[in-house]
Amino acid sequence: MAIKKPKLAVFKMSSCDGCQLSLLDAEDELLDVLGGVELAYFPEASSKMMKGPYDIGLVEGSITTPRNVEEIRQIRKDCKILITIGACATAGGIQALRNWKDTREFTKIVYASPEYISTLDRSLPVSSFVHVDYELRGCPINKYQLIEVLNAFLNRRKPNIPSYSVCIDCKLKGNVCVMTSQNQMCLGPVTHTGCNALCPSYNRGCFGCYGPMDSPNTSALASQFKQMGYGKFDIMNIFRSYNGYAEAFRKESEANEK
């Protein structure tokens, strides 16, 4: 019985390409992935570009231009399942730092002819424009998690992607907590796991590249940072980075702005 392989498409909005590269970087598993799906559209990897509809669409990058808006609406129509990958696509990314500033000011400073630049005022996640079926976190994403999501889809089961804090994986690894033993700020307690506690494993605090966990108590963590001797400016900055525009982190950085 010849089963028709599901068609996979990979799209890019405003981003650095790091997340798409995770898929190409999954060398050992890539052949198995290709055994399970048909790579219908993936400009970064292949010049073969098939037309939609697609079964699974992976979207990297945030929505920052009017063209992005049109594209994402079309992509939604073309894809049965739409999965966003990475901090840009799920929370606006590092480029969302401009959301707190005047974008037109920037274009004037950076470009010789700013009138040619067509951009939105803010960098926003894909879910601000269309319905998203699954969000995969990280800056960049963890390639094993991406394989796991595709794998779960292919084998018709739930992906094993927990939404609890980095602390759980940090403790499973047997790390010594850098907050309690070294007085370092660590966003681990409010950050979604996925990196296998990478930073605390190398003796530094987590800076939140997987965005907020399922029930982030950012204000309690921020008051602990204050007790540890950190000022509002440090606290604002740690919350305002790769996932700074994710709601829980955004509110906490704004609460510490003045």
Partner 1 sequence: MKTLDKINLEKLIGILKQENYTVIGPVIKDGAVVYDEIDSIKDLPEGWEDEQEAGYYRLKKRNDNALFSYVVGPQSWKKFLFPQKLKLWQAVREGRGFNIENSNSAEPKYAFLGIRSCELKAVFIQDKVFDNGMFADSYYNNIRKNIFIISVNCTRAAGTCFCVSMKTGPKAKNGFDLALTEVINNNEHYFVLEQGSEKGTEIASKLETNDADDKQIKAAEAAVKNAELNMKRTMNTAGIKELLYNNHDHPIWSQIASRCLSCANCTMVCPTCFCSNIEDTTDLTGNHTERWRRWDSCFSLDYSKVAGGNFRTSVKARYRQWMTHKLASWIDQFGISGCVGCGRCITWCPVGIDLTKEVENLRNSPKTINK
Residues of the shown chain interacting with partner 1 in the complex, contacts defined by CB under 8 A: 29, 32-33, 35-36, 147-148, 150-152, 154-155, 157, 160, 162-165, 167-168, 171-177, 179-182, 186, 188-190, 203, 214-215, 217, 220-221, 223-224
Pick one of partner 1, ligand SF4, none as the site partner of residue 147 (Cβ within 5 to 8 A by kind): partner 1
Pick one of partner 1, ligand SF4, none as the site partner of residue 18 (Cβ within 5 to 8 A by kind): ligand SF4
Q: Which of 88, 86, 207 is nearest to 137 (CA)?
A: 86
The number of beta carbons lying within 10 Å of the beta carbon of residue 237 is 16
Provide the CB-side half-sphere exposure for 5 (13 A, CA). Answer: 13
Tracing tokens 């991406």 back to the chain, one arrives at 146
CB of 3 to ligand SF4, least distance (A): 32
Could you list the residues that contact ligand SF4 (CB under 6 A)? Answer: 15-16, 18-19, 60-61, 86-88, 93-94, 139-140, 166-167, 170-171, 175, 177-179, 186, 188-189, 197, 200, 206
Pick one of partner 1, ligand SF4, none as the site partner of residue 94 (Cβ within 5 to 8 A by kind): ligand SF4
CB of 90 to ligand SF4, least distance (A): 8
| Beta carbon nearer to partner 1, 115 or 214 | 214
Q: Could you tell me where the DSSP H helices lie in 155-231?
A: 166-172, 178-182, 198-201, 218-227
Pick one of ligand SF4, partner 1, none as the site partner of residue 16 (Cβ within 5 to 8 A by kind): ligand SF4
Pick one of partner 1, ligand SF4, none as the site partner of residue 203 (Cβ within 5 to 8 A by kind): partner 1
- Does residue 189 have a cis bond before it (omega within 30 degrees)? no
Q: Which of 203, 215, 148, 142 is nearest to 173 (CA)?
A: 203
CB of 201 to ligand SF4, least distance (A): 9
Type of residue found at 42 = F
Tracing tokens 């966990």 back to the chain, one arrives at 213
* Pairing verdict, β 134-136 and 54-60: unpaired
Angstrom distance (rounded) from CA 43 to CA 3: 25
| Beta carbon nearer to ligand SF4, 40 or 96 | 96
| Beta carbon nearer to partner 1, 128 or 183 | 183
Give 132's DSSP letter: -
